[in-house]
Amino acid sequence: MTVAANLEEIRTNIRQACNNSNRDPEEITIIGVTKYVTIERTEETIETGIKNLGENRLEGFLEKYNYIQDRATWHFIGTLQSRKVKEIIDKIDVVHSLDRKSLAKEINKRSKKPIDCFVQVNVSGEESKHGLAPDEVIFFIESIANYENIRIVGLMTMAPHVDDEETIRNIFRNLATLRNTVQEKNLEFAPCHYLSMGMSNDYKIAIEEGATHIRIGSKLVGSEN
């Protein structure tokens, strides 16, 4: 399948999910996750009009960035080691995996401009998942108030790989509730308007529960070279 054909199907599903939940499809940003695919396929993705690309590993990101440069807005969606921050921070636009103070400190120190960050939350509580526990999020955000190069634009989570739709829906709903709590604090450095949630298998549910940024790899750009 071409990326364009995949995108058409995804847009149809987005419209439907927005219809179900009284939302405007314009509120949804599609992040094309290119971690599984080649440079050629990444170029094809950009040609469809997708401007936001996501990578989850440093090496994969740098390889793509070398070719694409700033023809895309770059989202770093994977675990980021503090000591690697300096290698990529001037090349990425958005970090989706802020989950600890040491990482915030390093980003703040190394970046020359404010970076939009999502705080990653482990809503499901699975041990294999990264992210802060929900009850740690407010304290964490308040603790980085004086980091002038960090802007908390939203919260991010990954749902578990389960078939039960209600389980997934509850996780997304809990993240939305937590986002509202942060928003109500009216922190200047943490507007926290956005929700980065939903991947190939669960983006429709995520949109119905308020996602503003969906991260789609296999069903948009493909899962192999």
Ligand X SMILES: *Cc1c(COP(=O)(O)O)cnc(C)c1O
98 binds ligand X (CB under 6 A): no
23 binds ligand X (CB under 6 A): no
Phi and psi dihedrals of 110, rounded to 5?
Answer: -85, -25
- Residue (179 or 215) nearer to ligand X, CB: 215
The distance of Cα 92 from the centroid of its chain, to the nearest Å, equals 13
Q: Which among 116, 85, 93, 187 has a CA at the least distance from the CA of 146?
A: 187
Residue from 6, 29, 45, 56 binding ligand X (CB under 6 A): 56
CA dihedral 55, 39, 213, 83 (to 10 degrees): 20
Nearest residue to ligand X, by Cβ distance, number only: 217
Q: Are 179 and 155 in contact (CB under 8 A)?
A: yes
Name the minimum Å distance from CB 188 to ligand X: 28
Name the minimum Å distance from CB 222 to ligand X: 9
Element (H, E) at 152: strand 150-156
* Cα–Cα dist 172/211, whole Å: 8
Q: How many residues bind ligand X (CB under 6 A)?
A: 14
Name the minimum Å distance from CB 215 to ligand X: 4
154 binds ligand X (CB under 6 A): no
11: amino acid identity, one letter: R
DSSP codes joined into one string, 133-145: -GGGHHHHHHHTT
Binding mask 185-224 for ligand X (x = CB under 6 A): --------------xxx-------------xxxxx-----
Residue from 14, 28, 33, 178 binding ligand X (CB under 6 A): 33
Beta bridge partners of 150: 115
Q: Which of residues 71-90 bind ligand X (CB under 6 A)?
A: 77-78
Contacts with ligand X, residue ranges (CB under 6 A): 33, 35, 56, 77-78, 158, 199-201, 215-219
